Chains A and B, each alone.
Chain A
Amino acid sequence: MSHVLVSPLNWGLGHATRDIPVIKNLLGHGHEVTIAACGNARSVLEQEFPGCRSIDFPDYPLSFSASRFFLPKFFASFPLVLKAISDERKRLEHILAQDPYDLIISDNRLGVYSPDIPSVFITHQLHYHLPLVFWPAELLAVELNGFHHGKYRHIIVPDNPPTQTSLAGKLSRPGTDVTRKRVFFSGILTSTRKRNREEDLDYLVMVSGPEPQRTHLEKILLDQIHGIEGRCVVLLGSPQDHSLLDQSDVCRIIQYASTGEKEELMNRAKFIVCRSGYTSMMEIAELGKRHALFIPTPGQTEQEYLSWYYGKKGWFHSQNQYHLDLPYDIRVARQPRYTGFPDIPKTEENVLRLYEKVFAQYLER
């Protein structure tokens, strides 16, 4: 039995939830897993794996802007992030001194690696997309990524290789030889499972993502939701208030649903309205949903790029939240020219291959 340290970033729950199938697979092979995380990411993994040891391991501050101008604030926060990475490196040394580990899995935590222990890095962004005016920074980021990837034995990308079925497009395209030598395209990784459920829900509208943009979208969608016809559930994704707001037969508005409840609703939905975050994209691909409308978080260049990319590929329609006309955009999204994601290998198969091709060489010696 080997010992694995798994450390996901706590910027949203996407990093923690995509690690769930990986951790399940490691436990299934009889290995011991220690979770090093903070905040909601740690809580989710503690609930999912009560038998695993969990260490509080703070990560980086991230300030989201209330306006569309997210990037300037993001750049200004770099010194704080750098200080946090420096602290993270010191804390990691302390954690590694306490117990022996055979493998370190860092999910987007830049400072989690060791020169003495095999370390792998999980990310779907090998290439950052920035507005055209910042093209020198985009080029520079490719080189910086290459420098950082050199610290790891493998870079695991939860996407298909850069072919016609790549879900992340240019984001998952390696830009340097250092990255190319280490990259392993695992295919999608998500904790959401396809269930044998009747699709009896016409629309599932999921309002998620960082504040204050989540609240802005909630207001925009609730103002327009009565313009659509059919059974509808609106999931507000705000865990502060667990009360059920509306119980009408046609449209139910739910403040917060657990991971299991959300999975159930997604399985039952014929049409999904959500942000174009990569975690949601993997969930939709896993469930094989063909009809959806995406609303990228303003200023989040990754989501804006994915929305553009899916439109260009003819997979899904997206609309900016400031120009959203829900009934009209749903009609557009239902047009036959939008085909949904192509058929791709699913998580269960991907996680088995990931273990065989990457983890086994370090854990079964």
Chain B
Amino acid sequence: MDDLVVAGALGLIGLYLLAVILLFAIYTVAWLMYRSFVAGNFGVVLDGILGTLIVISLYMAIGFWLRKTDHI
């Protein structure tokens, strides 16, 4: 098979795999927080919210930095 097609197929598999992992992570965190909330364990809920906000902020900050420095 042509190497361009092989590289494209591998890239696609990687992209979709990443999407599945991301969705699974979102589901796991959401489920953990829901169970903690139902059990009245609000500390875990707050930690979950805080952790999620930190991860999203870091992710977006890296994006902003890359754009500001003309890397993307």
Q: Are A89 and B67 in contact (CB under 8 A)?
A: no
Size of the chain B interface, CB-CB below 8 angstroms = 19
Q: Given A78-B12, A135-B62, A144-B11 in contact, is the A86-B5 Cβ separation under 8 Å?
A: yes
- A62 CB contacts on chain B under 8 angstroms: none
Is B23 an interface residue when CB atoms closer than 8 A count as contact?
A: no
Q: Are B4 and A110 in contact (CB under 8 A)?
A: yes
Q: State the CA gap A150–B48 with chains docked (Å).
A: 45
Residues of chain A whose beta carbon lies under 8 Å from any beta carbon of chain B: 75, 78-79, 82, 85-86, 89, 110-111, 127, 132-133, 135, 137-140, 142, 144, 147-148, 151, 170
- B72 CB contacts on chain A under 8 angstroms: 127, 135, 138-139, 142, 170
Q: Given A85-B4, A89-B4, A135-B72 in contact, is the A79-B12 Cβ separation under 8 Å?
A: yes
14 contacts between A and B (CB under 8 A): A79-B12, A82-B5, A82-B8, A85-B5, A86-B1, A89-B4, A133-B63, A135-B67, A138-B72, A139-B66, A140-B11, A148-B4, A151-B4, A170-B70
Interface majority SS on B: helix, strand, loop or mixed?
A: helix
Q: State the CA gap A39–B67 with chains docked (Å).
A: 38
Q: Are A85 and B66 in contact (CB under 8 A)?
A: no
Q: Are B66 and A135 in contact (CB under 8 A)?
A: yes
Nearest opposing residue in chain B for A140, CB measure = B11
Q: Are A85 and B63 in contact (CB under 8 A)?
A: no
**Shortest CB distance B8–A (Å):** 5
Instruction: Please indicate which of the listed interface residues B5, B11, B64, B72 has the most CB atoms of chain A within 10 Å of its own CB.
Output: B72
Q: Are B63 and A82 in contact (CB under 8 A)?
A: no
Q: Are B60 and A132 in contact (CB under 8 A)?
A: yes
**Shortest CB distance B65–A (Å):** 10
- B11 CB contacts on chain A under 8 angstroms: 140, 144
The 7 closest A-B pairs by CB, nearest first: A135-B63, A86-B5, A138-B72, A82-B8, A132-B63, A89-B2, A78-B12
